[in-house]
Amino acid sequence: MQQIIECVPNFSEGRDMNIIKQITDEIEAVEGVRLLNVDPGKATNRTVVTFVGNPVSVVEAAFRAIKKAGEVIDMSKHKGEHPRMGATDVCPLIPVANISMEETAKYAQQLAQKVGEELWVPVYLYESAQPNKERSNLSVIRAGEYEGFFKKIKQPEWKPDFGPVEFDAKRGATVIGARDFLVAYNVNLNTTSTRRANAIAFDVREAGRNVMENGAKVNKPGSLKFAKAIGWYIEEYGIAQISINLTNINVTPVHIAFDEVCKKADARGVRVTGSELVGLIPLQAMLDAGTYFLKKQKRSTGVSEKELIKIAVKSLGLDELGPFKPEEKIIEYMLHDKADSKLVSMTLADFADETASESPAPGGGSISAYVGALGVSLGTMVANLSSHKRGWDDRWEEFSNWAEKGQQYKDQLLQLVDMDTKAFNHIMAAMGLPKSTEEEKATRTEAINAATKFAIEVPFKVMQAAYNSMEVIKTMAEIGNPNSVSDAGVGALCARTAVMGAFMNVRINAAGFDDKTFVDDIITKGKEIENKTIALETEIVGIVNSKIGL
């Protein structure tokens, strides 16, 4: 699964769009990143840029942007309302998907070292990237700002983590770090009262409110950790809102914040009518919300990604003030390359027509993966039907877990549908490389070998996923809704076809591969999976036939 991080550098220029564009052009020139937002501010004379991508590409794009900012911004002439200390004032990296904070912090440290050593700019680490927690707070680091840093940098305790111990009059210094993803989230109320909205905000925000106890003022914390909140009135909508910044959605996710606001609002005679996301949100946060609300209903959570998002949107009321478009609000969807899912995005008829055309792809490998996806989809359907079967209420969670597992296998096999065709296309591209010189021949041979190995590995992954999915199918044949046992049987037939069909592709692609050790190993493993699949299919069909009885 692709690792994704977000980068939100702040540049000390918010008025000259030509300068800003020169910086963002550097970001957009890097393959593997996507520029999501450019937010210039005239009063602050500062631009906040947001882009996302895989970690290596994001680090490269950030480095190029920092370099360009140092070339086109002159801090000796800079004036603005916002605290600042450099042309690139702050540059945080934020984990979004399939990457830990620890890993993200290491990438931030790599970026900081590269900037310090190659650009010769003083760099300070902050938050999770800074091992010294006495100097990890951004506001503490930046205290004194640009004007005060000429002296501050000479103090031993403020020696930069990387780069020179000299303050650069033109470029200033830069703070680079890693922090949690921040979600800007507003909850809508059925009131126009800012005072009542603020009261609810103080109930939930971590900072809480000050209250008098025994004649002394004491702080009473709010109920949500890592939440900053305030109440305000939005004239455009004619309602009051609770405006919340969730600074650690691993501790306080959106759905928990929503439910807590509902609870506190109800206690004050106010109702929550919906909510809105300001900016973007990671996919997992939406999936977690959908799962949370389904579990509250004691409904199966083993449904498609699309359905989980739909449940989240409806439960949170994210479509109250306007349409909620996942492709524009979810980070991973904004990064999605449609070419990666060309086949599975087709209609059934178009997919069949494409397969039947004179084009050699999609071929047997992609079809095997798709048949496997259909097979485990049937097993997952039985799990969901069983989870919701009347009289089986005490077993809903058991079947929900099996349905979740089935969805995971289905998603994996669907990805392999397009991946198998991509593997074939890689071979064709490698075959088409020039071969006029010895160097070109060597490059071509190396490319063909790499593409061929990939074309062997992909259908082997289909074999593994399809065989493993039979665990779900067999269990549903044994304990699932008896009215759907035939569906489990058909699922087993599909899984067997997927394994055997994929193995044919493994073998034909391996036939011309030079690495005999690799070929012998994968063919041996393939035969073992094929034999176990045939035996398991026979067992499942036997269970199904015994239950049908005719």
Please give the positions annotated as active site.
Answer: 82, 420
Sign of CA dihedral 443, 448, 450, 451: positive
Nearest-angstrom CA–CA distance, 418 and 495: 18
CA atoms within 13 A on the CB side of 515: 15
Backbone angles phi, psi at 431, to 5 degrees: -65, -30
- CA 125 vs CA 59, 71, 119: distances in Å: 15, 22, 16
Q: Show the tokens assigned to 52.
A: 């996302």
CA 172 to chain centre: 34
C-beta of residue 231 within 8 angstroms of C-beta of residue 194: yes
Q: In 268-347, which residue ranges form alpha helices assigned H by DSSP?
A: 283-296, 305-316, 326-329, 331-335
Buried-state track 412-429, b at ≥16 Cβ within 10 A, e below 16: bbbbbbbbbbbbbebbee
Backbone angles phi, psi at 391, to 5 degrees: 90, -10
Neighbours of 64 (CB within 10 A): 16
C-beta of residue 108 within 8 angstroms of C-beta of residue 125: yes
Sign of CA dihedral 251, 257, 263, 264: positive
Which of 458, 456, 470 lies closest to 522 in space, CA to CA? 456
Q: At what angle do helices 55-72 and 17-28 cross, to 10 degrees?
A: 150
DSSP 511: T
Q: What angle do CA 141, 142, 148 make, to 5 degrees?
A: 115
C-beta of residue 86 within 8 angstroms of C-beta of residue 12: yes
Q: Which residues contact 376 (CB under 8 A, 6 or more apart)?
A: 406, 409, 410, 413, 466, 469, 472, 473, 491, 495
Q: Show the tokens assigned to 455.
A: 């074309």
C-beta of residue 171 within 8 angstroms of C-beta of residue 121: yes
C-beta of residue 246 within 8 angstroms of C-beta of residue 254: yes
Q: Which amino acid is at 446?
A: E
Burial class (CB within 10 angstroms; exposed 0-12, middle 13-18, buried 19+) of 176: buried
Beta strands 123-127; 174-178: pairing state: parallel
